[in-house]
Amino acid sequence: MMTIQSAWKVIVSSRSGGGKARHDWPEIANLLKAKSIEFIASITDHAYHAIELAREAVLSGFRKLLVVGGDGAVHEVLNGLYSQTEVSPSEVTVGLIPVGSGNDWSRLHRIPADYGRAVDLIAEAGVRTRLQDVACVHTLMDGKPYCRYMMNIGGLGFDSDVCRRFDIAKEHGHAGDRQYLKSLLSGFLAYRPLRFRVVVDGEEFYHGTAFSVALGIGQYCGGGMRQTPDAVPDDGLINVTVVGKLSKWKFLSKVPSLFKGDIYRHKEVRHTTGRRVEISAAPYSYMEVDGEPVGITPVRIEVIPAGVQVVSNL
């Protein structure tokens, strides 16, 4: 007999993959049933609905949440966990069937893109879980203090500008890989580097013009780029990478390094780790967290060690 304590609460993101998650859900549901995995499912019907569904699930007694979607959906579920005080988020297990555009968090934990193999991993969740760190990110939103929790990577400068453009496109019903590439191109052509001040654990780490600043619990962003290639998800540290002053065309020449994971070898790139990071920008920079716009500078990021339990193939 199924009980809430033993069942998975499945949250299907209707927006992930340009609607692919919703379209493919019947196939995934059949795979879960074939493995005798007990679940109760809900499908999101508006932006940030996954936050509400995750919070309500935990308050109803669920301790296992399965996301069918992409990085944005995982981000929302994490923030739903952290919006309740019934239990510690680390007592709730989060799993993922990756059906997004980038699927960068699933790369970090080596979760298969094949639905059948991903479901196999969920079936082994009793022995395939691990605690990973979370970052608490404080920004300004509409002139007021704002807080979001980060599962993977956040960024300022060029990264966040592209993210903001893509988010606006999604609000108008345009999503998917092709739209992301359009946002990337338009952002690249329009972007102008900003002046940043980055303070790590109370010490000034960088002060000057920069193309981008990346902050990682995980390694992957933008569909496989590795701006924080040395990040470890459970070491209690945030990895910080600053791409300093360089021309757009020189930046283009370094893109292969982003995918190969050897971005640190370039002289314009600086990196470090810390538990607390503070960032300001002149005049200001947008901030993105796990691919979602979350406000503007000034920014303060603090790590929460072992902040959430996840199904992992590491």
Write the single-letter amino acid at 150. Answer: M
Which fold does the domain 8-127 belong to in CATH? Answer: Rossmann fold (3.40.50)
162 close to 136: Cβ distance less than 8 angstroms: no
For position 176, what pLDDT does the model report?
57
> 312 by DSSP, 3-state: which?
coil
Residue 269 tokens read as 């790139």
Residue 140 tokens read as 């300004």
What is the residue whose two structure tokens read 């940030």? Answer: 48
> 235 by DSSP, 3-state: which?
coil
In the chain, domain spans = 8-127, 134-306
Return the percent helix, strand and coil in the chain, to nearest 5. Answer: 35, 35, 30
pTM comes to: 0.90
**C-alpha radius of gyration, the chain, whole number:** 19
d(CA 26, CA 297): 42
184 contact partners, CB below 8 Å, separation of at least 6: 162
CATH class of the domain whose range is 134-306: mainly beta
**Number of CB atoms found within 10 A of residue 292's CB:** 21
How distant is the alpha carbon of residue 147 from its chain centre?
Answer: 15
Q: What is the pLDDT along the chain (314 residues), one digit of tens a residue?
A: 567 778 999 999 998 888 899 999 999 999 999 999 999 999 999 989 999 999 999 999 999 999 999 999 999 999 999 999 999 999 999 999 999 878 999 999 999 999 999 999 999 977 789 999 999 999 999 999 999 999 999 999 887 777 666 666 566 566 655 655 565 665 566 677 889 999 999 999 999 999 899 999 999 987 888 999 999 999 999 999 999 987 666 766 766 776 788 888 888 999 999 999 999 999 999 999 998 889 999 999 999 999 999 999 98
72 close to 43: Cβ distance less than 8 angstroms: no
d(CA 76, CA 73): 5
For position 22, what pLDDT does the model report?
94
For position 252, what pLDDT does the model report?
67
First to last CA, the chain: 32
Cα–Cα nearest to 149, from 307, 271, 15, 274: 307
For position 181, what pLDDT does the model report?
59
Cα–Cα nearest to 75, from 105, 30, 36: 105
